[in-house]
């Protein structure tokens, strides 16, 4: 369960910064991705539901996450590609290539904006309690920039050492254990 919190959540450590952390502070095996968490409502032809939106950088599923989740990516050259778990897809009656509408609340303007999304990838649901409402979309589709950077270490990575280095450099961060206590 802990590894899935790292994979599905905001990485092993989430660094709160407008720019990526200095790569000299991170091990070579670390994957870094800009991200932002949002909330919205999703509508398909058959159902609707609340979604925790994980807006991420373009290579988010190209490394450890994609391999460990067993994600199957369809053609990503589609209108506003999105990724969901099989439990989320089943709940909304969706398959790869299907479209759905996301209503995303924009805090700055105080309005809700509809976005047409295409399912570009589905991963087997690991823990429906964790992944049945998570929707991954590109940061550019969300209309927001990142509010931080996820650092994902391999399962045998030394998170405590990385936390010491980040803390000594003055970075503001939280571990996945703090975020999902």
**Per-residue pLDDT tens over the stretch 20-38:** 999 888 988 999 999 999 9
**Residues 133-164 pLDDT 10s:** 999 999 999 988 899 999 999 999 999 999 99
Instruction: Give yes or no for a contact between 49 and 90, defined as CB atoms under 8 angstroms apart.
Output: no
Beta strand pairing call for 72-73 and 148-152: unpaired
Q: CA 94, 32, 12, 30: dihedral to nearest 10 degrees?
A: 120
Predicted structure pTM score: 0.92
Is a pLDDT exceeding 90 seen at residue 180? no
Is a pLDDT exceeding 90 seen at residue 124? yes
65 compared with 130, residue with greater pLDDT:
65
Assign 128 a pLDDT band (cuts: 50, 70, 90).
confident
What's phi and psi for 88, nearest 5 deg? Answer: -65, -45
Is a pLDDT exceeding 90 seen at residue 11? yes
């Amino acid at each position: 369960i802990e590894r899935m919190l790292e994979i599905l959540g905001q990485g092993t450590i989430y660094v709160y910064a407008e720019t990526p952390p200095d790569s000299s502070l991170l091990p070579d095996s670390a994957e870094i991705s800009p991200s932002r968490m949002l909330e919205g409502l999703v509508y398909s032809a058959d159902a609707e539901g609340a979604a925790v939106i994980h807006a991420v950088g373009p290579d988010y599923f190209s490394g450890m996450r994609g391999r460990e989740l067993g994600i199957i990516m369809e053609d990503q050259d589609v209108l506003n590609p999105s990724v969901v778990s099989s439990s989320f897809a089943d709940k909304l009656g969706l398959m790869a290539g299907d479209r759905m509408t996301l209503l995303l609340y924009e805090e700055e303007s105080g309005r809700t904006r509809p976005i047409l999304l295409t399912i570009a990838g589905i991963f087997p649901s690991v823990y429906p309690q964790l992944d049945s409402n998570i929707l991954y979309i590109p940061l550019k589709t969300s209309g927001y920039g990142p509010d931080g950077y996820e650092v994902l270490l391999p399962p045998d990575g030394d998170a405590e050492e990385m936390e010491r280095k980040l803390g000594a450099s003055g970075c503001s961060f939280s571990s996945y254990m703090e975020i999902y206590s």
